[in-house]
Structure 1
Amino acid sequence: MKKLAHRIPWWLVVLIAGAALIVLGIAQGDFQDTMRKAALVCYECIGIG
Structure 2
Amino acid sequence: MTHLPGVFTVLALWDALRFEGAVLRGVLEVLFVAAVAVAAAEVVLLRSPTTATS
- For the aligned pair, the TM-score class normalised by the smaller chain equals 0.3 to 0.5
TM-score scaled by length of structure 1: 0.46
- Structure whose residues are more often helix by fraction: 2
RCO higher in structure (CA 8 A, sep ≥6): 2
The structure whose Rg is larger is: 1
TM-score scaled by length of structure 2: 0.43
